[in-house]
Amino acid sequence: MNNNLLMKSVQSINTVGPRRAASLQRIGIFTVGDLLYHFPRRYEDRTRLSPAGACAQGGIATVRGTVLASQDLKPKPGLVITKLAVHDGSGVFYAVWFNQPFIKKILTPGKNVYITGKVDRSYGATQLAVEDYEVDDGSDSLSAGRLVPIYALTERLNQRQLRVMIKTALTVLNNQINDFLPGEIIEKYHLPRVERALCQAHFPDREKEAAAARKRFIFEELFLFQLVLAVRKRDITRSEKNHRYVPEGNLLRLYQKNLPFQLTGGQRKVWEEISADLDRPRPLHRLLQGDVGAGKTVISTMTMLRAVESGLQAALMAPTEILAEQHYLGLSRDLAAIGVEIGLLTGATRKKERELLLARLANGELKLLVGTHALLQGDVSFQKLGLVVVDEQHRFGVRQRAALGHKGNLPDTLVMTATPIPRTLALTLYGDLDISIIDELPPGRNPVKTYAVLPRALPKALSLIREQVNLGRQAYIVCPLVEESEKIDLQAAVDLSVDLAANDFKDFQVGLLHGRMKSVEKEEIMLRFRRGDIKVLVSTTVIEVGVDIPNATVMIIMDADRFGLAQLHQLRGRVGRSERQSYCILVANPKTDEGRARLRAMTRTSDGFVLAEEDLRLRGPGEFHGTRQSGLPEFKIADLLRDGKILQIAREEAQALAQRDPYFKSSENRALLAEMKARFGEGIDISGA
């Protein structure tokens, strides 16, 4: 929070020395504010104190008593058991610690103490295996007789120490911080003010107060982030672009004429939305969503052609070299007939080739460029960049989108996603964008029949491939490839392709495709697969996006439980791209409930939006999106899956405030602006405010 007291080093608290400060830094706590915003993961109800003898065997109990004596037992090398005899007013029980002999020096005979631990009567006398303790010095207890906060910890830091630090910090506050949330919002949603909320979040009087405090901080996090997005959207909608588009011309007509199909109703609707935005004086800033195979690439290509025939340049940024190459190959194939040249710029582009490409880009000769993050490099200069298309693939955030936009003078921006994104994530990640959804698939496509089978059924799945190939079709066999076991996974794919070529499919051409191959080799393999020379393609996930072979009707995914739902759905989308019946066989023996749930979901539905919601439910927002890559902030207390309703309210309030006071002129909103800059100023451009 943007407050002098809260911005002080955590060492300004008298219970935090250099060693403890170093421990706190390992969990991201550097300031007093960081410490107070390190919220409990949960609470333990220790409001009821009972004599040890009255507590149930195996249960967790909190007992108050007086230390009578102590002893150390050493049953074997490396193990010290410290036992304290404690009288609880009804009788004696034994508190037990393992390898903590220093406890005897802290809890000396005569001291009163609260002990929390697991009750054990296996050896006759009542024992408590200690999980937590606190000396009873007559002051309010932080570990007993109340709802007790339980925190995420790190090495050399225990719950008791952290509670004391936080309690000390709360005492120092003493009505010295001002609330930055507008009073109107606090009253409207019955939110506690910040200082009371901090006290009740850490040391609640009752569960009701804890829930109210958590609601306040959930709203606060989501509201601030939505405000940042609202500010970005405000700047876009109030800015006027310097370029204009001519009416749809010959390039677009020829491109659509050459398409082997008519646009669907969903595609036409989305194209009308995008075209209308292009014709407006304000920059287009839109997210294009659609299920696998819905035809997003056609729409993005039409958008780029509209820029090219208006004398502008267009850039398409993809997250990986493989995907950038696939976009480049696809566009080159589709646009060669109408005379539009495309350039490709990645980290692998050779120096001389790169220099020539950049020169042609700078003088305006090259109109359309496809690339990776390499497009963001300082020496990449466009003569007249009018349109940026970002193939998001969940891996670019607000900052990367903005960085490419800075290459032009307020260019139009179209963001595509490879698979559908759940509504809560779309509102959070893309809250600064308008959203277009292609809500139907091309006609005549049958749903892909999907089966989950155990590895022992693989021969039967291979028979299905043989049957389909004999009918003139083609097939994929996909092997997992993850960074942690890349060498082993790659070798497994190579071995499988060799084995299949020598045995099951010795009568067919079997190809191998993986990301470690040179671009020329990959292009050659894909060309032979497109021509139909290769009948069975063994591949890693490089074929996940952008490969369109209508003749392929079978996909076998090996170790399918190692893939996320979105990835499985994207892979399945490589088949079923014609009117012929297609099949997807998921080969796996999942060992976890989550793995089984993913396979079950895949066999039950082919709706990408349903699967995206299920994937979010199973994995949570951070895992689903890869927090660092996506630009999704690491929320301290909000959960996008659980807190969808609060997110919607926060979004509405943020947009309303940005409309009422777009430049935060009111004295009340200046505090809000300061807080936004303190939290997001380094990561997100809010300079317009």
Angle of helix 608-625 relative to helix 593-604, nearest 10 degrees?
150
The predicted pLDDT at position 484 comes to: 52
Torsion sign, CA atoms 262, 246, 285, 619: positive
Domain 250-438 has CATH 3.40.50.300: yes
Match domain 449-605 to its CATH number in 3.40.50.300, 3.30.70.260, 3.90.1300.10, 3.20.20.80: 3.40.50.300
Tell me the sheet residues that pair with 637: none
- Side chain identity at 185, as an amino acid letter? I
Beta-strand ranges (E) seen in 482-582 are 510-513, 536-539, 552-558
* 476 close to 548: Cβ distance less than 8 angstroms: no
Those residues whose C-beta lies under 8 Å from the C-beta of residue 161, and which sit 6 or more positions away, are: 15, 20
At residue 304, the 3 state secondary structure works out as: helix
Positions of the chain with pLDDT lower than 70, given as ranges: 1-3, 392-405, 418, 429, 482-486, 544-546, 619-633, 681-689
Torsion sign, CA atoms 166, 171, 176, 181: positive
Convert 467-490 into a string of H (helix), E (strand) and C (coil): HHHHCCCEEEEECCCCHHHHHHHH
Neighbouring C-beta atoms of residue 496, cutoff 10 Å = 16
Say how many CA atoms lie within 13 Å of 311 toward its Cβ.
6
Beta-strand ranges (E) seen in 136-208 are 147-150
- For the chain, the domains span 1-45+148-177, 48-145, 250-438, 449-605
Closest CA to 537 of 571, 502, 512, 505: 512
The predicted pLDDT at position 137 comes to: 84
The predicted pLDDT at position 445 comes to: 75
d(CA 538, CA 513): 6
Token pair in block for residue 671: 């505090």
Pairing of strands 474-478, 536-539: parallel
Neighbouring C-beta atoms of residue 595, cutoff 10 Å = 17
* 270 close to 295: Cβ distance less than 8 angstroms: no
Those residues whose C-beta lies under 8 Å from the C-beta of residue 58, and which sit 6 or more positions away, are: 118, 119, 120
CATH fold for the domain made of 48-145: OB fold (Dihydrolipoamide Acetyltransferase, E2P) (2.40.50)
The predicted pLDDT at position 404 comes to: 66
Say how many CA atoms lie within 13 Å of 495 toward its Cβ.
6
Q: In Å, what is the CA distance from 64 to each residue of 6, 110, 149, 199, 345?
A: 35, 13, 19, 25, 70
CA distance between the termini of the chain: 18
Closest CA to 671 of 197, 256, 185, 343: 185
Q: In Å, what is the CA distance from 410 to each residue of 237, 376, 385, 429?
A: 11, 16, 9, 21
* 214 close to 643: Cβ distance less than 8 angstroms: no
Token pair in block for residue 232: 């970005």
Write the pLDDT tens digit of every residue in 510-545. Answer: 999 887 888 778 878 888 998 999 999 999 877 766
- Side chain identity at 640, as an amino acid letter? L
The predicted pLDDT at position 375 comes to: 85
d(CA 70, CA 539): 66
Closest CA to 575 of 533, 625, 529: 529
CATH topology of 48-145 equal to that of 250-438?
no
The predicted pLDDT at position 683 comes to: 44
Token pair in block for residue 329: 């190959």
* 51 close to 118: Cβ distance less than 8 angstroms: no
Q: b/e for 45-61, b at 16 or more Cβ within 10 A?
A: ebeebebbeebeeeebb
